[in-house]
Amino acid sequence: MYSEKVMDHFEHPRNVGEIENASGVGTVGNAKCGDIMRIFLDIDDDGIIRDVKFKTFGCGAAVATSSMATELVKGKTVKEAMQVTNKAVMEALDGLPPVKVHCSLLAEEAIHAALWDYAQKKGIVIEGLEKPKSDIHEGEEQEEEEY
Ligand code: FES
């Protein structure tokens, strides 16, 4: 059911841990399954992500997607990191079962939340970055009511 890459990143997750005095920290949860992901970014003066670490209290797919997401943003510029969508993470992992797609969303949102925190601290604007949700289902009920 899971690709070899998913299993590999689940069993040997890359970049697990924390960064002290991180340039940006983002925490996002998923109220439906109760999983939480936190991403720490170390960004240098040129806007390059020098280091990234994560902590995930969640399912295997959430661990694998956060591990892969950290690998994908490491060494990249902030702008390039914005291109690391949940789709890109899933592709890099050779896919996820449909019921686990939301887990990869947690990784994308956590990176965005960490970038948002960095932008706030620096007083800069990152193009295309919107204020992150603290839960990936935030605002869903409202949308449902509108229809
Ligand atoms: Fe919650 Fe995967 S089941 S993130």
59 is catalytic: no
Q: How far is the CA of 49 from the centre of ligand 1 (A)?
A: 26
* DSSP secondary structure of 24-72: EEEEEEETTTTEEEEEEEEE-TTSBEEEEEEEEES-HHHHHHHHHHHHH
Q: Kindly report the CA angle at 102 between 112 and 30, in degrees rounded to 5?
A: 70
Tens digits of per-residue pLDDT, 19-77?
Answer: 999 999 999 999 889 999 999 999 999 999 999 999 999 999 999 999 999 999 999 99
Instruction: Please state the atom number of ligand 1 nearest to the C-alpha of residue 37.
Output: 4
Going by CA atoms, what residue is nearest to atom 2 of ligand 1?
Answer: 103
**pTM exceeding the 0.85 threshold for the entire prediction:** yes
